[in-house]
Amino acid sequence: MKVVVRAPSNIAFIKYWGKKNEKLRIPANSSISMNLSDAYTETSVEFKKILSDDLVIIDGKKIDGKEKERIGRHLNLIRKMARINFFAEVLSKNNFPKGAGIASSASGFAALTLAGVKAAGLNLSEKELSVLARLGSGSACRSIPDGFVEWKKGSKSSDSYAYSLKSPEYWDIRDIIVVVGEKSKKVGSTEGHKEATSSPFYKARISEMDKKIADIKLALKNKDFTKFGRIVEEEAINMHTVMMTSKPPLFYWLPKTLEIMQSITTWREAGLETYFTIDAGPNIHVICRSKDVRKVKTKLEKIQGVKKIIINRVSKGARIVK
């Protein structure tokens, strides 16, 4: 049986950086995100008796080496649960550039998880799917449930999962991805996570996390955009400064990233209320209210060096397409 799944990427408002358990991808702190309507992966999985190895094609390119191994290990988890031993044909397409700070591993592993599980004939709960997706790529667990999501750090594998805080319809805020670099990252986030604890600021960061999570959940509950945005921006800077002070330092920002961050601050001072966040890559995510989307887009289009603008609504999580 071939199953096709579409899974959204997600943008974290409270970030995931550093793990309590490396192998099981149990994070040092809980995180909060929204799923993205216009940055997604579509993946089909079919287990086939005829195959002598997993066949993985992403964006039309046959995948080998470490990337394929990681996917193979994830398929093994599914094969083990379903007690099947066929190899799989995995066809996957991203509608956004890979490895540039839009979490392709999040949408990718969420889609692979749901498609693989269904193709293997398993019936898992949303929570079980989220746990399984997490084992493939931490932030993938947040792309399983709908809308605004909390990934509870948990204390063991079975209770470290994401669930929906609010549906996509709850609050119409937008995430405008501003692509300024399409290069694959020098240091991927899996490697980056290992370095997190080498920052002298890491402990102080982690010690504030419970409060930040509580604060942003309250802002979300109250639809308090100003409070929400301030927390989001402060948190993005906090994570990136932990990265910059790691040993060796990790710099994900490009000069253009900093330019746009500073533009957003200037726009805000002039009355256009937007905030930024940035994942482990150079691209900016501009968070704004739906009423301001057009204005923000016009401003962004005028900035030289902006390669692509992707406007996202809040989206459902991973779902079967056919």
Residues that bind its own copies (CB under 8 A): 200-201, 203-205, 208, 234, 237-238, 241, 244-245, 247, 249, 251, 253-256, 258-259, 261-262
Residues 6+ apart with CB under 8 A from 126: 144, 145, 163
Whichever of 37 and 238 has its CB closer to its own copies, that residue is 238
Dist CA 93 CA 107 (whole Å):
10
CB 261, min distance to its own copies, A = 8
Whichever of 176 and 243 has its CB closer to its own copies, that residue is 243
Dist CA 314 CA 226 (whole Å):
18
Whichever of 191 and 208 has its CB closer to its own copies, that residue is 208
CB 222, min distance to its own copies, A = 21
CB 7, min distance to its own copies, A = 33
Whose CA is closest to 55, among 84, 78, 75, 41?
75
Residue type, 134: R
Whichever of 121 and 255 has its CB closer to its own copies, that residue is 255
CB 180, min distance to its own copies, A = 11
Whichever of 207 and 222 has its CB closer to its own copies, that residue is 207
Whichever of 94 and 238 has its CB closer to its own copies, that residue is 238
Whichever of 12 and 311 has its CB closer to its own copies, that residue is 12
Residue type, 144: I
Whichever of 59 and 215 has its CB closer to its own copies, that residue is 215
CB 287, min distance to its own copies, A = 16
Query: Which tokens sit at 43?
Result: 């993946």
H-assigned helices in the chain: 65-82, 104-119, 126-136, 189-195, 202-207, 209-221, 225-244, 255-269, 293-301
HEC string for 4-54: EEEEEEEEEEECCCCEEECCCCEECCCEEEEEEEEEEEEEEEEEECCCCCC
Dist CA 90 CA 4 (whole Å):
10
Whose CA is closest to 82, among 44, 136, 124, 52?
124
CB 26, min distance to its own copies, A = 23
CB 173, min distance to its own copies, A = 22
CB 97, min distance to its own copies, A = 20
Dist CA 174 CA 286 (whole Å):
8
Q: Which helix (H) or strand (E) holds 288?
A: strand 284-289
